Amino acid sequence: MARWEKHGTTSNATLKLLYYWANIFKALGNLIYPLKSLLEVIEYQVWLKKTFGEITIFKNKNDLLDLIIGQCKKSGPTIYYEFGVAFGETAAYIVNNAGSNFEYHGFDTFEGLPKAWRRLPKGAITNHGKVPNLPGDNIHFHKGLIQDTIGEVNFDSTTKKCVLFDFDLYEPTLLTFKHLEKNLRPVDIVYFDEAFDSDERVIIENYFIEKYKYDVLGASVFGLAFLMK
Ligand SMILES: C[S@@+](CC[C@H](N)C(=O)[O-])C[C@H]1O[C@@H](n2cnc3c(N)ncnc32)[C@H](O)[C@@H]1O
């Protein structure tokens, strides 16, 4: 017996029609999401041009990371702070390319997103509680919700900072930005991995570019890096 035939009060024809439209909307949703994402990325590129003029835009994240790491190496020791580490891909890239004069601090629950983001459900991007296998006296992971772990580090160091925001979510990104903004100094680098996303853009526009002096170091299809002046 088909599912709609089990309902006594509503006619089969009405239920069939409802299921039909529900499936149409589902299919439309699946079609619209990639289109919406494409439009967001295009809008981001237009916003970059309108806001900053001609800047370097890289096709992939690692090219932008090379620029960031190269800039850090040029100007002495660096402390990298990565907010949102997941499986440690970016962490490994930094560790393998940053030379010898650096410290790294990565913050994550390693249990995935604490709430849904875009099409990703709560718990997506989980490393099942495991910190990445990146040994070294200069490498530190801070496991837990950022609300609980941010106090583990004193950001008031005069050593140059490279701050990478990659929590995806608005609330922890804003909380972290507000916590350490008073410690941002000239030559520090601030990188937003989801600059294309309208929520993260709110933080960039209202809390960063309104308030600070910076040069744009470069952008990618999704991310944006600033050098503090
Ligand atoms: C996009 S992933 C990070 C990817 C990583 N930066 C890379 O490039 O390899 C986002 C991570 O943020 C973490 N995260 C999100 N909100 C958090 C919060 N409030 N506290 C701690 N970690 C959080 C998630 O667990 C997830 O692993």
CA of 100 from ligand 1 middle (Å) equals: 26
Stretch 136-155: mean pLDDT, rounded? 97
Residue 112 Cβ contacting ligand 1 at under 6 Å: yes
Percent of the chain with pLDDT over 70: 96
Q: pLDDT band at 5, cuts 50/70/90?
A: very low
Task: Look up residue 43 and give its amino acid.
Answer: E
Place of tokens 């440690």: 88
Task: Look up residue 112 and give its amino acid.
Answer: G
**Residue bearing the CA closest to ligand 1, atom 27:** 86
Per-residue pLDDT, 149: 98
Stretch 95-119: mean pLDDT, rounded? 97
Question: Which helix or strand (DSSP H or E) is residue 79 part of?
Answer: strand 78-83
Cα separation, 28 vs 196, in Å, equals 23
Per-residue pLDDT, 9: 59
Q: pLDDT band at 4, cuts 50/70/90?
A: very low
Determine the straight-line distance between the first and last CA of the chain, rounded to whole angstroms: 70
Q: Is 210 exposed, middle or buried (0-12, 13-18, 19+ CB in 10 A)?
A: exposed
Per-residue pLDDT, 21: 80
pTM: 0.89
Q: pLDDT band at 1, cuts 50/70/90?
A: very low
Best mutation site among 81, 83, 134, 167 for ligand 1 pocket (most ligand atoms within 8 Å of CB): 167
Cα separation, 182 vs 178, in Å, equals 8
pLDDT of 225 strictly over 90: yes
Residue 194 Cβ contacting ligand 1 at under 6 Å: no
CA of 20 from ligand 1 middle (Å) equals: 38
